[in-house]
Amino acid sequence: MFNCDAKTLGAPVRFAGVGLHSGAACEVELRPAHSGGLRFLHRGRTLPVHISQASAPGGSTLLGGQLDTPEHLLAALVGLGITELEIAVTGPEIPGLDGSARDWVQGLGELVCVGSTAGLEVSEPVEIEGFGGIARAWPGDRLELAVEVDFGPACRGRFELVMSPERFHEELCWARTFLPHRMLGAVHAAGRGRGAKPGSVVVLGERGPLVPVRSADECVRHKALDLLGDLALFGAPVRGRFELVRGTHALHQALVREVLGV
């Protein structure tokens, strides 16, 4: 355990858009809080941001079996060090915005310190294999990410980041979600991706992106963004080194459970 600043927003803020997968109109109001951690208010329920609430049935994170795709918003909160917040959601999922965490970061406004909070540390090395990938965690005195992907010539590479709000803003928050073109039909047939729009998803052809990218390694950076959002499921700030090879939300969640021993 360690202590760190507890942070929240200086004032409420609202975001509106459509869900990346449902295509439905969605609205979010983020309300400052002084304690209680991160929590969603959705369809009459309070959903703490914790692994006990999480699943990954459709390739994204689902909270409480009802709130879809919170991971980009959660990545913004973790990346900026926001630990206390009440998030009221109207609609089936979180607005997709531009497919990254950039719009969240730019719209959150001033942060304020509201005391201190207890964080968690990885106490011993952990490794698991499953869901098509490998996940590892090691003890450390800061939060570090190392992510590797291999989608063939279309997208392969490795990205590492020692987390700080400044580096999150500069190197990670703007990386958009991506999808291989060959998977589009299956995604649409499953009723997913209905809210995707030009510019919010990087579509990968056989040899590379079919749309302009924000960096040559935008896709692997987005995988790191997804991992960061799912680390919010520890329910507290966390320190350690997390390494993912071919990561998925299901694998991220399995790693969190393994580290917590639940």
Give the model confidence (pLDDT) of 86-120 as tens digits: 999 999 999 999 999 999 999 999 999 999 999 99
Spacing of C-alpha 41 from chain mean position: 18
DSSP 74-111: HHHHHHHT---EEEEEESSB-B-TTSSSHHHHHHS--E
pLDDT at 129 over 90: yes
pLDDT exceeds 70 at position 188: no
| pTM to 2 decimal places | 0.94
Q: Is residue 193 over pLDDT 70?
A: no
Q: Which residue numbers are catalytic?
A: 249
pLDDT at 62 over 90: yes
- For the segment 1-49, what is each residue's pLDDT rounded down to a tens digit? 899 999 999 999 999 999 888 889 999 999 999 999 999 999 999 999 9
Q: What is the C-alpha to C-alpha distance for residues 125 and 139, in angstroms, rounded to an integer?
A: 7
pLDDT-derived band at 200 (thresholds 50, 70, 90) equals confident
The domain in which residue 234 lies consists of 2-260
CA distance 55 to 58: 9
Q: Into how many domains does the chain fold?
A: 1
What one-letter code names the amino acid at 48?
P
d(CA 122, CA 137): 7
pLDDT per residue over 202-245, tens digit each? 877 777 888 889 999 999 999 999 999 999 999 999 999 999 99
Above 70 in pLDDT, residue 253? yes
Q: Within 10 A of 116 (CB to CB), how many other CB atoms are there?
A: 11
pLDDT of residue 179: 72
Measure Cα distances from 46 to 4, 36, 71, 89, 131 in Å. Answer: 25, 11, 17, 11, 29
First to last CA, the chain: 17
Where residue 104 sits, what CATH number does that domain have?
Answer: 3.30.1700.10
Q: How far is CA 190 from the centre of its chain?
A: 22
Q: Which residues pair with 25 in a beta bridge?
A: 18
